[in-house]
A and B are shown apart, each in its own frame.
Chain A
């Protein structure tokens, strides 16, 4: 099993550009999450999904969009990238109320 796979691992964006961070899981988990992690700030929830076709905002959703058309995939879209979106992004998945498994992260720099 690959677990939770995120691509790309690294990316540099220019201000105003857009991109999609990909996340896929092969554990048939119904819950999926996107977090961002800034130095010394822990993990902040951007969006989450409790199943295909259902998404909801987390603590810091502004500037991001998500979709969940399949159980396996949960892409995160950045529109009009800003320097404040420079961060490490983690995707995670879980089976209902169980613990979450994390991907290895995407390091994004906006210049």
Chain B
């Protein structure tokens, strides 16, 4: 079983839709959770960063962590064509070290 599972999509939505992206994980030692956005032929860039459980909001983006279910989510409100990218979840242990990524979900927002 992979440590981090993410539906690769692709996911296509109309402009203005609410997008939900999700990851599940198997290792209960993960404490730091991140979402990265990667545009085509570019390196990933950090979008959201959360420590332990709870919600975090930044503009149109909301990250949720449910450690009891080993499940994290990223919500994008009022999606825009510029949000079209691959979204990767990532997580690491409390003791630092390895940063493990999901497969990434390819999102396309149609005008």
Contacts and interface: CB of A to CB of B under 8 A. Distances in A.
Contacts of B102: 42
A59 B32 CA distance: 19
Interface residues of B, number: 26
**Chain A interface mostly helix, strand, loop or mixed?**
strand
A48 B97 contact: yes
B97 A50 contact: yes
Given A40-B8, A43-B88, A102 B101 contact: no
A40 to B, nearest CB: 6
Please tell me the size bucket of the interface on A.
20 to 34
A77 B6 CA distance: 30
Interface in A20-65: 31, 33, 35, 40-45, 48, 50, 56, 58-59
Contacts of B99: 33, 45, 48, 92, 94, 100
A90 B6 contact: no
A41 B103 contact: yes
Contact of B44 (A40, A90, A97): A90
A35 B42 contact: no
B75 to A, nearest CB: 19
Interface in B94-111: 94, 96-104
B96 A90 contact: no
Given A40-B103, A97-B32, A99-B34, A45 B43 contact: no
B66 interface: no
Contacts of A105: 41-43
B40 to A, nearest CB: 11
A109 interface: no
A103 interface: yes
A43 B96 CA distance: 18
Given A42-B101, A45-B98, A50-B97, A102 B44 contact: yes
Interface of B: 6, 8, 31-32, 34, 36, 41-46, 49, 88, 90, 92, 94, 96-104
